Amino acid sequence: MIANLHPALTDAAASARAALADALASHTRAQLEAHDGIGADGTPTMHVDTLVEHRILEDLARHRVNVLSEEAGFLDHGSTCTVVLDPVDGSANAAAGVPLCALSAALAVDGEFRQALTCWLHTGDTWHATVDESCGPDGKPLRPSDATRLDAAAVSLLRPHIDKAAGHAWWEVAKTARRIRVLSCSTVDIALVASGAVDAFADPGSDTHRLVDLAAGVVFARTGGFVLRDLHDRPVTFTTDLTQRWSGIAAATGQLADELATTIHTALTQPPREPPCLSP
C-alpha cells in the first residue's frame, strides 16, 4: 500500500466490501437487481447500488471531502478535494452473484485527478496509485504489457451493443484481436490493463462510459505508463456532470490504442460490404 493515499479512498473500499457482503447475505438476486429510480448519471439505479453507496457516503462524511457519486451526484462540502466514485462497478454482476465487481474511486484536487483506487469487492484485490507511485494486488508497481499490435493482443470489451454501428465495430475488434473477454466490469478491465494481464480494453463506440468508469484509469495510466483515452479524443477530465459520456480505450501502448481506435472508427463509419459476422 502506498503511504500517502488519501484515507477517504481506502475507507470507501472497506465500506463497499462490508456493505456488499451484507447485501448479498440478506437479499435475493431479484431484490438486488430491482430498480430504485434513475441515478445522477441518468441510468437506472439497482438496489445493490443504493445499499452500497449509502454506506460509503455515511462513512466518508467524517473526511469532509466533496463526493461525486454515480447515483447521488455531486455532494459539495466546500473542500478542494472531490472523491469521484463508482460504489459498485459491475452492478449486474454484483446483484446476480457473479463475483466480478469493484469499487472505483479517484481523488481530484482542485479539479485535477491525483490519486486512484480500484478494489475488486469479492476478493479485496486492490490497485491504487498517486501521481508518483502505483501498486497492484501483488504489492508491486503497476506494469502494463508491451503489446503494440491488435492481432497479437488480448482485449476486453464492453458487452456488445446490438445496434448497427457499435455492434459492427464490436465484431471487427473481436475478429482482429488474438483473444476477447467480456467481464462486464470496466474498472477491473482497466486495472487488468494496468497490471499487464490484458493488453487493452475498449468501449467500441457505444458511448457507455461515464466519468466514474474512467477517472481512476486516468491516474493509473499516467503513473503506470499506459494509455487511457476516448475513442473520439474527448478529454477525460473532472466535471460534475455525470450525464457526459465517453467510449474509453485503455491500452498498454500508444500504437495499440491507435490501432484499436482506427479499427473502431473505420467500422463505425464504413458499412461492411459483406455480412460482418460471416466474413473470415
Binding-site ranges for its own copies (CB under 8 A): 29, 92, 96-100, 122-123, 125, 145, 154, 159-160, 162-164, 167-168, 170-171, 174-175, 179-184, 192, 195-198, 271-272, 274-278, 280
CB of 263 to its own copies, least distance (A): 14
Residues 6 or more apart from 97 whose CB is under 8 A from it? 24, 29
H/E stretch holding 202 = strand 200-202
**Spatial distance between the Cα atoms of 98 and 272, rounded to a whole number of angstroms:** 35
Q: Which of 257, 256, 239, 240 is nearest to 248 (CA)?
A: 257
Smallest separation, CB 197 to its own copies (Å): 4
The C-alpha cell that represents 206 in the structure block: 457505444
> How far from chain centre, in Å, is Cα 150?
21
* CB 241, min distance to its own copies, A: 28
- Nearest CA among 81, 88, 71, 73 for reference residue 7: 81
200: alpha, beta or left? (left if phi > 0; alpha if psi -120 to 50): beta
Nearer to its own copies, 72 or 185 (CB): 185
Cβ closer to its own copies: 5 or 173? Answer: 173
Q: Which is nearer to its own copies, 97 or 111 (CB)?
A: 97
- Closer Cβ to its own copies, 131 or 197, answer by number: 197
Within 10 angstroms of residue 234's Cβ, the number of other Cβ atoms is: 13
User: Is 172 in contact with 276 (CB distance < 8 Å)?
Assistant: yes
Of 66 and 195, nearer to its own copies (C-beta) is 195
Q: Of 27 and 54, which CB lies nearer to its own copies in the complex structure?
A: 27
Least distance between its own copies and beta carbon 239 (Å) = 29
Nearest by Cα to 135 from 35, 224, 237, 11: 224
Closest approach of its own copies to the CB of residue 86, in Å = 19
Report the nearest approach of its own copies to the CB of residue 17 (Å): 14
